[in-house]
């Protein structure tokens, strides 16, 4: 009983502050604990903050980045700290990766920097190969996901055994996560299990 009161108190405190809480419960005779996570919308709030002041869409940011740094766009992400820039990851034909920053209000290129942190491991090579053979590119995935709300992030995802574009959107007070098929561009809700 005391354990349930503690869990309820922690959950209420996390909900009141807009955070995330993980509650653990274990019976006296159980050897393992079970974990439940409650997402209270903190990600949605961060995404809504990022959208403020962003007149340039994800698709427009990707197009501007590719015009400046030709190659294959792997992702575009709107900063969470007040929409200071779109960050677009571009891989050139020689395999070098660049982070191109795009102004969210004008679409101007703020700068491009070679990404030396990436190891170009087998996962990176597999994702790049999947994208190069795809019918849908990052810009088209952003356009397709825009029907579900304002896109705040788009990138390649292979967490579910199938490589697809992953997009995050905000609409009103909601936050959505979507998969966009590489071959057809079909948008489906991401139903990832915790």
pLDDT in tens, 163-179: 899 999 999 889 999 99
Please state, as a whole number, how many other Cβ atoms lie within 10 Å of the Cβ of residue 19. Answer: 13
Question: Is residue 128 a contact partner of residue 91, using CB atoms and an 8 Å limit?
Answer: yes
Average confidence (pLDDT) over 122-139: 83
Its pTM stands at: 0.70
Q: How far is CA 29 from CA 22, 32, 165, in A?
A: 21, 9, 45
Look at residue 117 in the predicted model and tell me its pLDDT. 72
Per cent of the chain over pLDDT 90 is 47
Residue among 62, 47, 32, 28 at smallest CA distance from 139:
62
pLDDT of 77-92, one tens digit each?
Answer: 997 655 689 999 999 9
Taking the C-alpha atoms of residue 36 and residue 38, their distance in angstroms, rounded to an integer, is 7
pLDDT of 26-76, one tens digit each?
Answer: 333 333 222 222 233 554 454 444 555 578 999 999 999 999 999 999 999
């Amino acid at each position: 009983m005391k354990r349930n009161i503690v869990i309820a108190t922690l959950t209420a405190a996390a909900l009141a502050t807009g955070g995330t809480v993980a509650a653990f419960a274990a019976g006296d005779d159980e050897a393992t604990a079970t974990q439940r996570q409650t997402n209270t919308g903190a990600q949605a709030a961060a995404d809504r903050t990022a959208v403020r002041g962003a007149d340039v869409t994800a698709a427009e940011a990707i197009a501007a980045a590719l015009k400046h740094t030709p190659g294959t766009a792997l992702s575009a992400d709107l900063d969470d700290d007040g929409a200071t820039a779109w960050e677009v990851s571009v891989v050139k034909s020689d395999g070098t990766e660049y982070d191109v920053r795009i102004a969210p209000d004008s679409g101007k290129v703020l700068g491009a920097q070679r990404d030396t942190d990436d190891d170009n491991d087998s996962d990176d090579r597999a994702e790049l190969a999947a994208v190069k053979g795809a019918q849908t590119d990052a810009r088209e995935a952003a356009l397709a996901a825009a029907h579900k709300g304002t896109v705040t992030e788009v990138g390649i995802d292979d967490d579910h055994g199938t490589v697809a574009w992953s997009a995050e959107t905000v609409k009103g007070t909601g936050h959505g996560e979507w998969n966009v098929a590489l071959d057809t561009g079909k948008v489906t809700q991401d139903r990832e299990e915790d």
